[in-house]
Amino acid sequence: MKRIGVLLLGLLTIYIIYIDLTAGTLPKNESQKTEQTVATMTNITNSAASFEAEVEPGETLISIVENHIKKPLPVSIDELIEDFQSLNPGLSPEKIQIGSTYEFPDYSK
């Protein structure tokens, strides 16, 4: 009887892990994300709000933008990456190099 209980508990645990990894357990708030994406895309495409900056040692995409706007990011990191890539086609944020100058999205407005 113990073996059947342990087997069922193991199967339940595997099933829960599978559901968590595939579908997730947190609800998705698509409407909020869509509104933020539209607003961000409007800002970037309409006004082309961007600034140029040279990358210093130890800086990242997030730190450069936050230092420029002097406050925390008003958009998600995914949106920041998409905007950076639209301003610098073919360039991933992980590939920025020290001493090089790039266009960064300006969220100060």
Number of domain units in the chain: 1
- Whether residue 49 is contained in a domain is answered as yes
The residue range of the domain holding 38 is 31-109
Q: Is the pLDDT of residue 13 over 60?
A: yes
- Whether residue 38 is contained in a domain is answered as yes
- Whether residue 62 is contained in a domain is answered as yes
Give me the pLDDT at residue 27, please.
64
Estimate to the nearest angstrom the gap between the alpha carbon of 98 and the chain centroid: 22
Q: Is the pLDDT of residue 46 over 50?
A: no
Task: Calculate what percentage of the chain has a pLDDT beyond 90.
Answer: 54
Give me the pLDDT at residue 49, please.
85
φ/ψ of 98, rounded to 5, equals -60, 135
Determine the Cα–Cα distance for residues 40 and 44; give it in Å rounded to an integer.
6
- Whether residue 104 is contained in a domain is answered as yes
Q: Which CATH number does the domain housing residue 91 bear?
A: 3.10.350.10
- Whether residue 80 is contained in a domain is answered as yes
Determine the Cα–Cα distance for residues 31 and 20; give it in Å rounded to an integer.
22
CA–CA distance from 75 to each of 35, 86, 108 (Å)? 11, 15, 11
Give me the pLDDT at residue 48, please.
60
Average pLDDT over residues 17-29: 76
- Whether residue 77 is contained in a domain is answered as yes
Q: To 5 degrees, how large is the angle CA 33–CA 34–CA 40? A: 90
Average pLDDT over residues 101-109: 89
Alpha helices (runs of H) in 1-109, residue ranges in sequence order: 2-22, 30-47, 61-69, 77-87
Give me the pLDDT at residue 24, please.
72
